[in-house]
Structure 1
Amino acid sequence: MKFIFVSGGVVSGLGKGVVTASLAFLLKSRGFKVTPAKVDMYFNVDAGTLRPQEHGEVFVTHDGMETDEDLGHYERFIHENLKKENYITAGQVYSEVIRRERAFEYAGETVDVIPHITDEITRRIILAGTANNADIVIVEYGGTVGEYKNGIFFETSRIMKLKKPHDVIHVHVTYLPYLVHIGELKSKPAQTSVHILNGMGIQPDIIVARSEKPMDKKRADKLALYSNVSPDRVFLAPNLDTIYEVPLLFHKPQHHLASTCLNLLGLKNGKHKQMHSWLEVTSRAIKKWPKTVKIALVGKYFVTGDYSLIDSYVSVIEALRHASWKLGINLEFDWLDSEKIEESGTDVLKKYNGVVVPQGWGSRGTEGKIAAIKFVRENKLPYLGLCFGMQMATIEYARNVLCLENANSEEVNPKTPHPVIHIMPDQKNYLALRQYGGTIRLGAWPCRIHKDTKLENLYKKYGGPLSSPWYDANSTFSRRIKPKVASVIFERHRHRYEFNNTFRTKFEENGFSISGSSPDGLLVEAVELVDHPFFVATQYHPEYLSRPLTPHPIFMGFMSAASK
């Protein structure tokens, strides 16, 4: 097994995850079994309890691990479902070492950072490879080189390189800022980040130089010289129109990132097998189409200080993009803060072709979401509700159509007289014991699609064959529940509350159709409106399984409706 470490310098948010995903795609295209793994240095055990405005979207794997958003990029690029072993945190590492010490598994040894913490990090990195039967493991280190909390992880990579020098290489992604007042890219911060690595005993084998503008040869050669790297191992990465162009950027004549890595690892180069389909996707992604669709995303995790961030809902945005490229339409989208809709009303929605209400938690901003859903329902505007967006749609319909004036979710108002959304029975004990982390309904669960529904038509029209991601069964259920085209799907979840079946008959008798449910029929998975051009909402998260080569059928249907 071979290992490629990817680190970042100067600033966070450079795109290490996209570099890792692109390299994984290129190596896979050459015939290798590759698995990317993300290492986050914080002491959270997983990403589930992290605030989206600070850390970005929480991505959920098929087997139910709440992870960093970069695993979403990995899956979208390599078109594979990854596993819980692909996500490592300092919290996991230290808690396991402490558990083993308490269990006397170290047999009286003095437990120390070296070798016990470094050994546990190494064990988990190797486990990511063995769990995925990989030839090559690409390990992305979160954060920035030089942070006090990540030193022990870099020490682990140094030790692995020392023990197996022919099996480990290091790729460093760094940044050259462009100073507008002098009109020049400056390489000194990038050089400094490499020197910090050198100070920890690590010499990067490859430099990926990020910049806002293309870098000239003079500065690239200077960076190579001061970083002690051959010029042909410096790969320039200026900003591009779409992240899906990055593999093509690293696949230039006589300058291939994948080939360089394979040569350093002593592996043979094979011919690419997947470049044609990737070229086709990227050509559609950057093309300007005759028709443009404007989508509003109504949520509350956009704003942090004076800035609005895309990362809180990155999978939703990518899923919209995948569908728009496949359909041949331009996508424009805006973030609309649901709290501002509460203050100013819904007139702002009039200029959009469709509305998405994505996931969320808690009471803040819920009335703005409900008001937005009322607007799209009454004005026949295409609507897509995701997880919390399905729950808010249920509440809106209960209040304004079923005349249950004070209907609500128990999450928002525990004393509501009409709890049309209530806590799942097994979740009450978790909350009573304050067991929040990793206890909600997570991962891929089976959903039976009801016949003669819009949902069934979407999976029939756009869902593709059984090899599509939404037909990949979770191994927990695969022995007794099998996927079936446009009938039984496996979609990913992340929720603690559900549709209250006490009210189910009243909803169904009044045009609110249950279009998907758990195989036993007890849990509502999807709803739609009978007399609406497109009003579909799911308890599950279809955005997690949308990929550029296989856009998700629900997003395809939504974007198609919005384009009419």
Structure 2
Amino acid sequence: MARYIFITGGVVSSLGKGLMAASLAALLQARGYRVRIRKFDPYLNVDPGTMSPYQHGEVYVTDDGAETDLDLGHYERFTGVSARQADNITSGRIYRDIIAKERRGDYLGATVQVIPHVTDAIKDFAQAETEDLDFVLCEIGGTVGDIEGLPFIEALRQLHNELDRDQSCFVHVTLVPYIAAAGELKTKPTQHSVRELTGLGIQPDILLCRCEKPLPESERAKIAQFCNVRKEAVIPALDASSIYSVPLQYHAEGLDSEVLRHFGLTAPSPDLARWDDIVDRYQNPEGEVTIGVVGKYVGLQDAYKSLNEALVHGGMANRVKVNIRWIDAEIFEQDDAGIASQLEPMHGILVPGGFGERGSEGKIAAVRFARERKVPFFGICLGMQMACIEGARNTAGIAAASSTEFGPTTEPVVGIITEWMSAEGLQQRGAESDLGGTMRLGAYDAKLAGNSHVATIYGTTEISERHRHRYEVNGAYRERLEGGGLVFSGMSPDGLLPEIVERPDHPWFVGVQFHPELKSKPFDPHPLFAGFVAAAVEQSRLV
């Protein structure tokens, strides 16, 4: 029987509900329970796929090709449980499906309403595919009181009443701000937030109180009294030095114990050796390296959330601290002389994924610098395409090499992909297809050349990685590119789509069409990131 933990947030956004859900799931998992985490997003977009990273951060892609909220990345990184399409729902998707049913006549002429049709759809989503689970954690996006979130709150209220008494628990994440002028922590915002939630028919069972100063026992008792919860169920959540220390911190404060007490469960103490090792590797590095990330969305780190964490994981694998220098690719288009001054201090250069022409020439310039100066280079998705265009122009003699993504070109080294094979069969797209969900999305297999650098890194010649892109390197240019020293070391199983390129004459130069950062975890760093950081460590010894 699956038990449900419903997680809501109050007072302000960005309190870390997703990190809290991931940490609690990891603690329950460490006690031997089977867990899965789901995210309810109230916005009207069908999915985040067409949203600007500046609006919503990165788009996280699952093995089954869903474009989802970045919190699903936290869920995977903390639990190792692969997320799937069924783990993220939006208001837009719910309303789209309901309207489609209404148009087909599925409701037999009934008036379609928020209650029961929308709330029933939300409840169905929460309970789908849960037969083999012990706990299902459901995070509600936004803040209690947001108008778009009301159907989700109502659906969970109904579901709580429909489940057995010991089958659901409400955890409310709130803020206890510190007022420096008064020298006090203030509990009133939490009281108001809980009052708002109870006014919607939900009494929280546990309060997770985010605060930047220790929460005195007197204030903890006050919150418990005014919010109608046990004092032990008021869990302080102080700011942490690292997100990877949060599970240990929450365990020390008794969060997982209080959850089990609520459900009337007893379980062995959690095995937290994995997390002790992660924190030790993070807090006690034996060196450091600096990686320059030359991208388009560097003004918001959430736009590259998984990439940031994967580099940290690569550092953990090598017991070094990774300092990330975010560099706007456009500055290299405005000042050629600035390329060397910006990139010479770097021990490694990474060009990440992205869309559109803006900053592309700056990324190509960064690739050229890395190639000529023998600095470890890692190109991901668009970064691999920029590496191919740079190689075509500067080592293969194709001066007009470009991508059709940037406009008409006589030398389309990169072009839009119109058809490919997936697990579901032949997929076809056109240049005029909708932007949302029309890319090569999800996990695809690739075969690596047995004598390649990447085969050594992976320790195998068959891999599966997650994709999210609309354009591909044109295989018709393979012979000329390889003549210029850029080897196609990974291909799709049918041999048609380039997946990985590398330069054998370079200390570490790898470009991949997929997004390896999406599969990296602190307890299982992705081999490409571990290898890239290892190469950066070697580079640091040369400079």
- Structure 1 residue aligned with 2:195: 195
Report the TM-score, using the length of structure 1 for normalisation. 0.91
Q: Indicate conservation of the 8 Å contact 2:395/2:485, yes or no.
A: no
Matched residue type, 2:419? D
- Structure 2 residue aligned with 1:145: 144
Secondary structure (helix, strand or coil) at the match of 1:403 reads: coil
Q: How far did residue 235 of structure 1 move? A: 1.0
| Separation of aligned partners in 1, 2:279 and 2:499 | 33
| Separation of aligned partners in 1, 2:376 and 2:363 | 15
Matched residue type, 1:297? V
| Separation of aligned partners in 1, 2:229 and 2:270 | 30
Secondary structure (helix, strand or coil) at the match of 1:92 reads: helix
Q: How far did residue 431 of structure 1 move? A: 4.5
- 1:76 aligned to 2:67? no
Q: How far did residue 224 of structure 1 move? A: 2.1
Q: Indicate conservation of the 8 Å contact 1:390/1:538, yes or no.
A: yes
How many residues are aligned here?
Answer: 527
- Structure 2 residue aligned with 1:469: none
Q: Indicate conservation of the 8 Å contact 2:9/2:142, yes or no.
A: yes
Q: How far did residue 193 of structure 1 move? A: 1.4
Matched residue type, 2:53? P
- Structure 2 residue aligned with 1:452: 451
Q: How far did residue 542 of structure 1 move? A: 0.6
- 1:373 aligned to 2:367? yes
Q: Indicate conservation of the 8 Å contact 1:30/1:269, yes or no.
A: no
Q: Which moved more, 1:14-23 or 1:179-188?
A: 179-188
Matched residue type, 2:535? A
Q: Indicate conservation of the 8 Å contact 2:416/2:431, yes or no.
A: no
Aligned-residue Cα RMSD (Å) equals: 1.6
Q: Indicate conservation of the 8 Å contact 2:28/2:270, yes or no.
A: no
Q: How far did residue 342 of structure 1 move? A: 1.8
Q: Where do 5+ consecutive residues of structure 1 fail to align? A: 304-308, 461-485
Q: Indicate conservation of the 8 Å contact 2:330/2:362, yes or no.
A: yes
- 1:398 aligned to 2:398? no
Matched residue type, 2:458? Y
Q: Could you tell me which of 262, 271, 281 is aligned with 1:284? A: 281
- Structure 1 residue aligned with 2:354: 360
| Separation of aligned partners in 2, 1:212 and 1:185 | 9
Q: Could you tell me which of 293, 297, 319 is aligned with 2:293? A: 297
**CA 1:182–1:342: 2 relative to 1, 3 Å:** farther
Write the deviation string for residues 329-360 of structure 1: whole angstroms up to 9, x where unpaired: 11111211111222233121111111111110
Q: How far did residue 207 of structure 1 move? A: 0.5
Q: Indicate conservation of the 8 Å contact 2:15/2:210, yes or no.
A: yes
Secondary structure (helix, strand or coil) at the match of 2:334 reads: helix
Q: Could you tell me which of 309, 313, 332 is aligned with 1:318? A: 309
Report the TM-score, using the length of structure 2 for normalisation. 0.94
Q: Indicate conservation of the 8 Å contact 2:310/2:526, yes or no.
A: yes
Q: How far did residue 222 of structure 1 move? A: 2.2
| Separation of aligned partners in 1, 2:129 and 2:55 | 26
Q: Equivalences for 1:251-266 in 2 at 5 Å?
A: 251-252=251-252, 255-266=253-264
- Structure 2 residue aligned with 1:348: 342
Secondary structure (helix, strand or coil) at the match of 2:443 reads: strand
Q: Which moved more, 1:317-326 or 1:173-182?
A: 173-182
Secondary structure (helix, strand or coil) at the match of 1:251 reads: helix
Q: Could you tell me which of 531, 535, 538 is aligned with 1:557? A: 531
Q: Indicate conservation of the 8 Å contact 2:392/2:399, yes or no.
A: yes
- Structure 1 residue aligned with 2:8: 7
Q: Indicate conservation of the 8 Å contact 2:36/2:81, yes or no.
A: no
| Separation of aligned partners in 1, 2:394 and 2:375 | 17
**CA 1:387–1:125: 2 relative to 1, 3 Å:** same
Matched residue type, 1:543? E
- 1:336 aligned to 2:333? no
| Separation of aligned partners in 2, 1:517 and 1:240 | 42
Matched residue type, 1:540? F
Q: Where do 5+ consecutive residues of structure 2 fail to align? A: 421-426, 539-543
- 1:25 aligned to 2:26? yes
- 1:423 aligned to 2:407? no
Q: Indicate conservation of the 8 Å contact 1:175/1:189, yes or no.
A: yes
| Separation of aligned partners in 2, 1:67 and 1:129 | 19
Secondary structure (helix, strand or coil) at the match of 2:510 reads: strand
Q: Could you tell me which of 372, 375, 384 is aligned with 2:378? A: 384
Write the deviation string for residues 433-470 of structure 1: whole angstroms up to 9, x where unpaired: 4422112101110010111111011112xxxxxxxxxx
Matched residue type, 2:485? G
Q: How far did residue 404 of structure 1 move? A: 1.6
Secondary structure (helix, strand or coil) at the match of 1:14 reads: coil
Q: Equivalences for 1:398-547 in 2 at 5 Å?
A: 398-413=392-407, 415-426=408-419, 430-460=429-459, 486-547=460-521
**CA 1:302–1:163: 2 relative to 1, 3 Å:** same
- Structure 1 residue aligned with 2:207: 207
Secondary structure (helix, strand or coil) at the match of 2:50 reads: coil
Matched residue type, 2:275? W
Matched residue type, 1:330? K
| Separation of aligned partners in 2, 1:261 and 1:84 | 27
Matched residue type, 1:503? Y
